[in-house]
Amino acid sequence: MTSYQKLLRMMIRNYIGGSILAVFGVGGVLIFSTLSISAREIRLVVLTLFISLFMMAGFEMLAFRYHLRPIRQAFIEESPSKETLQKAFLQSHRLPTLTLIRIIGPHWLGITLPGVGITVVEIQVGWLHFPYEYVFFAFLGSILIAAMHGMIEFFMTMRSTLPLIVMLEQKMFECYGERPTLHGRVIVPIRRKFQVSMIVVGTFPLLLFSLASQIHLAHSAVATATNYWQWAGIILVIGIAFSLFASWLISDSIANPIADLSHRLRAVEKGNYDVIASEQYSDEFSQLVRGFNLMVEGLIHRDALNARLIDSYFTTLAATLDARDPYTAGHSIRVAHLSVGIAAYMGLSEEVRSVIRRSGWLHDIGKIGIRDEILLKEGKLTNQEYEVMKQHPVIGEAILLSVQPSDYMLPLLPGVRWHHERYDGKGYPDGLQGDEIPLIARIMAVADAFDAITSDRPYRKGAPIEKAITILEEGKGTQWDPHYAQALIDWITADPIMFAADLQASPSQVALLLAQ
């Protein structure tokens, strides 16, 4: 069942229930507990009410169908236009007001005018035997009941349309990537809504009681105290019940939007921006919702821009670092790419992959602190020079710790400091072993070694990918974590051509793969 069908059923159910309660409940109790008429006259009054109710339903159904036409159009069309969805969205917000107009218009007039006309005729032909002023009192009573019914229907319709409005927003977003909006427009101001509601809630019981008392006391032959309070109790219960129910509807229309926005604000405080609020409200809350959504969209845009700026800064820093040594140009970018690929192959979360990517870009930043005669030496390093080179992870960690805000750099430190640790504990700088090595560092160690094996160096030619796979196989469980080393091997062998192209391998490496 669609939201439109649910709305239709709910509105019809509310309307029928409200009409029966207002006309036969309140109106019937008012008439039959106040007037002293014969059983035959009671049957005539009931028949008059049914005829009037039937005529009212006809007039009101025409208005009801007309009010729902823009909304129905959005659901019967297979591919509704953006304008059609926007009109349906606006009409959904206007439905509570249109319902009130319908109650005061075809509903009240549709039952009052026929009822008054038929009753006057019945008095004239002698079928009813009570004064014409009863008709006047009935007319006044119908105004009170229509006001009560209209106010309740207004708030009930407002509640009923909320799922429909959400459905229209989702449909337009799915079709056009946009959400319908009121642009901050206020359909029914809260002040006016409260003023009218309080007038009805405050005066309805008093006016109803005053009207009923006038009729009851003026035309009762004998009014004992017991009979009076029995009758008065019924009228007072009706008035109190209406006031309680109406006040609940009014307070609910304020409490729900506040609770919803408060919940979404708490989510934003925790960094969750997936909380765009639906523009369900047609009063000033629509402006608050629009302002809230603009704030969240601004935060999302700001964070995305900051992330791009930071990533750009990291990649620029990595490229600058790699450019210092022409033989390692692009090394940091490739290590980051390989590390993220391994993490994705192992099904790690996007959050972890993001940290791995940035750690890969900066994993060799400590080489800034290594003298050129050691870093750029074309031959093999001496033992003393190698000990100096082994300090670059520690230097890199110290550099990142000096960056502010420090909290932002903390997730990157494990990959920078420990990417040269070995699984068997013979790595550096701290000799960590097995699972003592942080997960990110274990992944980066595999990626860093693979790129070092396949890249040219001043003292040797880069090995082909086939040879690199053999080296990884031999080093599983000793030099590298066996799970992540195997993940890289599986990734390569699953589609070696795509892997080489994606990694921008050299033409000789691609040719070798094509020959396999």
In the predicted model, what is the mean pLDDT of residues 463-483?
Answer: 89
* Whole-prediction pTM: 0.53
In a domain, 294, yes or no: no
Angle at alpha carbon of residue 193, lines to 192 and 195, rounded to 5°: 60
Regarding whether 278 and 330 lie in a shared domain, the answer is no
Q: State phi, psi for 405 to the nearest 5 degrees.
A: -75, 135
By percentage, how much of the chain surpasses pLDDT 70? 81
Q: How confident is the model over 286-300, as pLDDT tens digits?
A: 888 888 888 888 888
Q: Identify the three-state secondary structure at position 42.
A: helix
Alpha helices by DSSP H, listed for 270-366, are 285-323, 331-345, 350-362
In a domain, 489, yes or no: yes
Regarding whether 435 and 373 lie in a shared domain, the answer is yes
Helix (H) or strand (E) holding 98: helix 82-102
- Per-residue model confidence (pLDDT) at position 136: 79
Least confident of 190-204, 253-267, 354-368: 190-204
Cα–Cα distances in angstroms (integers) from residue 48 to residues 116, 120, 500, in the given order: 9, 11, 88
- Per-residue model confidence (pLDDT) at position 26: 58
- Per-residue model confidence (pLDDT) at position 425: 92
Of the ranges 24-33, 259-268, 300-309, 468-477, which is most confident?
468-477
Regarding whether 328 and 261 lie in a shared domain, the answer is no
- Per-residue model confidence (pLDDT) at position 508: 42
Of the ranges 116-125, 215-224, 243-252, 453-462, which is most confident?
116-125
Provide DSSP, 195-244: HHHHHHHHHHHHHHHHHHHHHHHHS-S---HHHHHHHHHHHHHHHHHHHH
Regarding whether 330 and 278 lie in a shared domain, the answer is no
Q: Is the pLDDT of residue 506 over 50?
A: no
In the predicted model, what is the mean pLDDT of residues 246-256?
Answer: 78
Q: Is the pLDDT of residue 445 over 90?
A: yes
- Cβ proximity of 130 and 35 under 8 Å: yes
Q: How confident is the model over 104-147, as pLDDT tens digits?
A: 888 788 878 888 888 888 888 888 877 777 777 778 777 777 88
Give me 96's structure tokens.
């509570």
Regarding whether 452 and 329 lie in a shared domain, the answer is yes
Q: How far apart are CA 109 and CA 115, in angstroms?
A: 9
Q: What is the residue type of 302? A: R
Of the ranges 185-199, 249-263, 428-442, which is most confident?
428-442
Q: Is the pLDDT of residue 435 over 50?
A: yes
Regarding whether 381 and 499 lie in a shared domain, the answer is yes
Q: Would you place residue 368 in the very low, low, confident or very high pLDDT band (cuts 50, 70, 90)?
A: confident
In a domain, 176, yes or no: yes
From 250, 282, 314, the end of a domain falls on 282
Q: Who's near 432: CB < 8 A, 6+ residues apart?
A: 418, 421, 425
Regarding whether 372 and 276 lie in a shared domain, the answer is no
Angle at alpha carbon of residue 474, lines to 471 and 477, rounded to 5°: 120
Q: Would you place residue 339 in the very low, low, confident or very high pLDDT band (cuts 50, 70, 90)?
A: very high
- The full length of the chain comes to 516
- Per-residue model confidence (pLDDT) at position 511: 42
- Per-residue model confidence (pLDDT) at position 465: 80
By percentage, how much of the chain surpasses pLDDT 90? 13
From 229, 262, 282, the end of a domain falls on 282
In a domain, 163, yes or no: yes
Regarding whether 385 and 261 lie in a shared domain, the answer is no
**Upstream peptide bond of 429 is cis (omega within 30 degrees of 0):** yes
Regarding whether 244 and 106 lie in a shared domain, the answer is yes
Of the ranges 85-99, 245-259, 296-310, 321-335, which is most confident?
85-99
How far apart, in Å, do the first and last CA atoms of the chain sit? 58
Q: How far apart are CA 80 and CA 84, in angstroms?
A: 6
Regarding whether 107 and 13 lie in a shared domain, the answer is yes
Q: What is the residue type of 228? A: Y
Which residues are bridge partners to 476 per DSSP? 480
Mapped to the 3 state alphabet, what secondary structure does 363-431 carry?
CCHHHHHCCHHHHCCCCCCCHHHHHHHCCHHHHHHHHHHCCCCHHHHHHHHHHHHHCCCCCCCCCCCCC
CATH number where 338 lies: 1.10.3210.10
- Per-residue model confidence (pLDDT) at position 163: 82
- Cβ proximity of 169 and 74 under 8 Å: no
Q: How far apart are CA 121 and CA 470, in angstroms?
A: 107
Regarding whether 495 and 360 lie in a shared domain, the answer is yes
Q: Who's near 70: CB < 8 A, 6+ residues apart?
A: 84, 87, 88, 90, 91
In the predicted model, what is the mean pLDDT of residues 306-319?
Answer: 75
In a domain, 307, yes or no: no
**Upstream peptide bond of 507 is cis (omega within 30 degrees of 0):** no
pLDDT greater at residue 189 or residue 484? 484
Q: How far apart are CA 449 and CA 506, in angstroms?
A: 17
Q: Who's near 261: CB < 8 A, 6+ residues apart?
A: 277, 285, 288, 289, 292
Q: Is the pLDDT of residue 206 over 50?
A: yes
Q: Who's near 67: CB < 8 A, 6+ residues apart?
A: 91, 95, 98, 99, 102
- Cβ proximity of 298 and 276 under 8 Å: no
From 282, 316, 340, the end of a domain falls on 282
Q: Structural domain of residue 80, as residue ranges?
A: 3-282
In a domain, 305, yes or no: no
Q: Is the pLDDT of residue 505 over 50?
A: no
In a domain, 414, yes or no: yes
Q: Is the pLDDT of residue 444 over 80?
A: yes
In the predicted model, what is the mean pLDDT of residues 175-190?
Answer: 81
Q: How confident is the model over 376-424, as pLDDT tens digits?
A: 777 788 889 888 999 999 998 998 888 777 777 888 999 999 999 999 9
Q: Please give the tally of structural domains in the chain.
A: 2
C-alpha closest to that of 281 among 291, 269, 273, 272: 291
Q: Is the pLDDT of residue 36 over 50?
A: yes
- Per-residue model confidence (pLDDT) at position 15: 67
Q: Would you place residue 443 in the very low, low, confident or very high pLDDT band (cuts 50, 70, 90)?
A: very high
In the predicted model, what is the mean pLDDT of residues 486-490?
Answer: 90
Q: Is the pLDDT of residue 10 over 50?
A: yes
Regarding whether 119 and 59 lie in a shared domain, the answer is yes
Least confident of 119-123, 217-221, 252-256, 457-461: 217-221
- Per-residue model confidence (pLDDT) at position 132: 79
In a domain, 293, yes or no: no
